[in-house]
């Protein structure tokens, strides 16, 4: 499993670096592809109690809304995101009026669709906005480095040295030792980023950002684990050998991206 994990990661890394470096529409394609894959996996996870969930027009509309949201964030900016979120709510509300007679569970389907829109495309749209800002490329690389370093540190320390369970009811494999190692990885990667690529960032603010993004990422990991456990699913998918699915790979990033946006736009 570990060999597959490294082969998959190292194979995807050059493509990731190229698309982040290029920015613009190629970067938008990257997050759009990740968004649709992750959203499909999310829908699969939460659809266990609703056999007709995946085929619902509400869910299909959610995919279109997600791509529209990402494109609007890239072209117009973050101001367009709130409008589209509200518009999606209005449209699915209208759908529910017509669908309720044939499917009384449509209200529950709408709740899950709206959560999915907030959970995945909303978070990813902030990456598109960040990338278009000054020093956006460097900041995206910094964020990815922080998250990936934290994930790797937490995984290996937790696997081989972990003794004290962090949240056994949600994820029995996660430990306090792994969580602390993850934060150490966040700090190390972030410190390297400041020294070599963003020397203008103060150390105090930088460390606060690294820890905030790291904690948010670990909460995101636990949040996805909680969803999977509720549906008795081990991995969100199988598209990434050794990693599981796209949602397994970006769960931490989805929670860290709002933190990154806050620091990039208002603090750093």
pLDDT at 51: 58
pLDDT at 52: 64
**What are 244's strand-pairing partners?**
240
The proportion of the chain whose per-residue pLDDT surpasses 90, expressed as a percent, equals 71
Q: How confident is the model at residue 101 (pLDDT cuts 50, 70, 90)?
A: confident
pLDDT in tens, 36-95: 999 999 998 888 656 566 668 888 999 999 999 999 999 999 989 999 999 999 999 999
**Does the predicted TM-score (pTM) go above 0.85?**
yes
Name the burial class of residue 97, with classes exposed (0-12), middle (13-18) and buried (19+) by CB atoms within 10 angstroms of its CB: exposed
pLDDT exceeds 80 at position 31: yes
pLDDT exceeds 80 at position 151: yes
pLDDT at 239: 77
Q: What is the mean pLDDT of residues 162-176?
A: 91
Q: How confident is the model at residue 191 (pLDDT cuts 50, 70, 90)?
A: very high
How far apart are the C-alpha atoms of 30 and 258, rounded to whole Å?
A: 18
Q: Which of 117, 186, 181, 124 is nearest to 155 (CA)?
A: 181
Q: What is the mean pLDDT of residues 194-199?
A: 93
pLDDT in tens, 218-257: 999 999 999 988 888 887 877 777 678 899 999 999 999 9
pLDDT at 203: 96
Q: What is the mean pLDDT of residues 165-180?
A: 92
Residue-wise over 195-234: b if at least 16 C-beta within 10 A, else e? Answer: eeebeebeeeebbebbbbbbbbbbebbbbbbebbeeeebe
214 touches 191 (CB < 8 A)? no
pLDDT exceeds 60 at position 1: no
pLDDT at 15: 94
Q: How confident is the model at residue 184 (pLDDT cuts 50, 70, 90)?
A: very high
43 touches 231 (CB < 8 A)? no
- HEC string of the chain equals CHHHHHHHHHHHHHHHHHHHHHCHHHHHHHHHHHHHHHHHHHHHHHCCCCCCCCCCHHHHHHHHHHHHHHHHHHHCCCHHHHHHHHHHHHHHHHHHHHHCCCCCCHHHHHHHHHHHHHHHHHHHHHHHHHHCCCCHHHHHHHHHHHHHHHHHHHHHHHHHHCCCEEECCCEEEEEHHHHHHHHHHHHHHHHHHHHHCCCCCCHHHHHHHHHHHHHHHHHHHHHHHHHHHHCCCCCCCCCECCCECHHHHHHHHHHHHHHHHHHHHHHC
The proportion of the chain whose per-residue pLDDT surpasses 70, expressed as a percent, equals 96
CA 17 to chain centre: 18
**What are 171's strand-pairing partners?**
167
pLDDT at 124: 97
Q: Which of 30, 19, 246 is nearest to 137 (CA)?
A: 19
How far apart are the C-alpha atoms of 203 and 30, rounded to whole Å?
A: 31
Q: Which of 125-129, 159-163, 260-264 has the lowest mean pLDDT?
A: 159-163
pLDDT at 49: 57
pLDDT exceeds 70 at position 207: yes
pLDDT exceeds 90 at position 105: no
Question: Residues 6 or more apart from 168 whose CB is under 8 A from it?
Answer: none
């Amino acid at each position: 499993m570990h060999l597959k994990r490294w082969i998959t990661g190292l194979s995807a890394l050059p493509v990731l670096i190229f698309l982040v470096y290029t920015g613009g529409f190629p970067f938008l394609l990257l997050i759009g592809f990740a968004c649709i894959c992750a959203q499909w996996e999310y829908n699969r996870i939460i659809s266990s109690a609703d056999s007709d969930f995946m085929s619902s027009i509400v869910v299909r509309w959610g995919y279109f809304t997600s791509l529209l949201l990402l494109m609007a964030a890239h072209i117009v900016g973050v101001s367009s995101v709130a409008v589209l979120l509200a518009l999606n709510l209005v449209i699915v509300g209208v759908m529910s009026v017509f669908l309720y007679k044939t499917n009384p569970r449509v209200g529950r389907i709408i709740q899950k669709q709206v959560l999915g829109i907030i959970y995945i495309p909303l978070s990813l749209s902030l990456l598109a906005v960040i990338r278009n800002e000054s020093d956006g490329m460097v900041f995206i690389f910094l964020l990815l480095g922080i998250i990936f370093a934290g994930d790797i540190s937490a995984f290996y320390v937790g696997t081989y040295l972990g003794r004290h369970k962090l949240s056994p009811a949600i994820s029995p494999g996660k430990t306090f030792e792994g969580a602390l190692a993850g934060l150490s990885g966040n700090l190390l990667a972030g410190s390297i980023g400041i020294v070599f690529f963003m020397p203008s960032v103060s150390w105090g603010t930088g460390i606060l950002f690294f820890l905030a993004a790291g904690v948010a990422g670990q909460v995101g990991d636990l949040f996805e684990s909680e969803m999977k456990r509720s549906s008795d699913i081990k991995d969100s998918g199988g598209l990434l050998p050794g990693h599981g699915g796209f949602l397994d790979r970006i769960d931490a990033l989805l929670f860290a991206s709002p933190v990154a946006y806050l620091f990039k736009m208002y603090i750093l």
